[in-house]
């Protein structure tokens, strides 16, 4: 398939809001973009319904659910929960309950120059502090880690998020 043909298909899927193009926050002009399914219903259908449509049609849907779908639901919920958290941060931004006014927010990924490892931050909001007569605005960042679990998140998760924060310039809120 040619690049032009692929781009036409991607554009159509984006226009239909089935997929979305995602770029790291603060790095919107990069070629480091990814495409992901935007609508969880489509993701669920193609992961858990379509492969077992014969079983469903042959009245074995309950067995297919118990065997193939139910064990995978926690894994399926990870990106769904991340989207919910992202939308919640957007809600908090609209309400003005974030400690600064972000210029942009979303996810971020890139290299940690210290460890030379790839790093991903689930939620990142970037902005500046309020200027005052004696100081110029300073860069600020809000970082969040999304974990879909049935137990409380352990402190080590926060410690790892703080380590990831080294990749982002500016004072950080976690």
- State the pLDDT at residue 132: 83
- State the pLDDT at residue 111: 85
* Short-list 15, 89, 86, 77, CA closest to 40: 77
* Averaged pLDDT in 10-residue chunks for the chain of 174 residues: 89 94 83 89 94 92 93 94 94 91 91 88 92 86 91 91 86 67
- Do residues 122 and 109 touch, judged by C-beta distance below 8 A? no
Lookup result for tokens 């990814």: 34
- State the pLDDT at residue 171: 67
- State the pLDDT at residue 172: 67
Q: How many residues does the chain have?
A: 174
- State the pLDDT at residue 135: 85
- State the pLDDT at residue 150: 85
* Short-list 165, 125, 169, 123, CA closest to 146: 123
- State the pLDDT at residue 26: 83
- State the pLDDT at residue 142: 92
């Amino acid at each position: 398939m040619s690049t032009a043909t692929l781009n036409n298909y991607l554009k159509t899927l984006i226009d239909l809001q089935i997929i979305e193009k995602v770029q790291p926050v603060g790095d919107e002009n990069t070629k480091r973009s990814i495409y992901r399914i935007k609508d969880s219903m489509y993701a669920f259908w193609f992961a858990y319904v379509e492969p077992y449509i014969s079983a469903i049609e042959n009245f074995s849907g309950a067995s297919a659910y118990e065997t193939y779908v139910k064990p995978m639901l926690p894994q399926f919920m990870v990106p769904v929960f991340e989207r919910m958290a992202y939308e919640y941060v957007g809600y908090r931004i609209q309400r003005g309950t974030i400690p600064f006014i972000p210029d942009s927010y979303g996810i971020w990924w890139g290299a940690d120059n210290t460890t030379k490892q790839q790093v991903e931050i689930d939620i990142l909001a970037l902005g500046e502090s309020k200027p005052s007569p004696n100081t110029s605005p300073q860069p600020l960042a809000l970082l969040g880690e999304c974990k879909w679990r049935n137990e409380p998140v352990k402190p080590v998760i926060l410690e790892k998020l703080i380590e990831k924060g080294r990749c982002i310039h500016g004072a950080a809120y976690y």
